[in-house]
Structure 1
């Protein structure tokens, strides 16, 4: 299943935390011309390096499908960033 929501939370010292919710589908639709070009470039790269394009596409879909439930926590000094993919 494709990820539905990306949640970003930024904690800053001495300030209120910032929360941003990003729906994935509208972002993908807005950037779809760039996505089409990226897929075409990946297909050309597969031909150049003699990799099966169908297998590469299947592997890419598996990676995208495995993203829901992933969390990234980055902390440096007093600032912390949490990215959760749902």
Structure 2
């Protein structure tokens, strides 16, 4: 299952929170030309460094498949960032 929404929360200096909800599928559709270039560059890099392309694609797929449910929290005094992939 691919992630549906990425939630980005940031605490500002005055204590208020900035929350952004980023839908994944529309962003992927908008950035799809760059995604194609990234895949081609990854395949070229695999050939240059002697990595099997199928193994690299399987590893990338497994990484993307495990993203839903991932949370990242960083809190440093007045500054805080929370990212939730769901």
TM-score tier by shorter-chain length is over 0.9
Q: How does 1:51-62 map to 2 (within 5 A)?
A: 51-62=51-62
Gaps of 5+ in 1: none
TM-score, normalising length from structure 1? 0.92
Q: CA RMSD in A?
A: 1.1
Gaps of 5+ in 2: none
2:23 corresponds to = 23
2:6 corresponds to = 6
- Following TM superposition, by how much is the alpha carbon of 1:48 offset from its aligned partner in structure 2, in angstroms? 1.1
Corresponding pairs, count? 86
TM-score, normalising length from structure 2? 0.92
Moved over 3 A (4+): none
In the TM superposition, what whole-angstrom CA distance separates every residue of 1:25-63 from its partner, at most 9, and x where no partner exists? 111111111110010011011111111111100110100
Q: In the alignment, does 2:72 pair up with 1:72?
A: yes
CA distance in 2: counterparts of 1:15 and 1:66, whole angstroms = 33
- Following TM superposition, by how much is the alpha carbon of 1:76 offset from its aligned partner in structure 2, in angstroms? 1.8
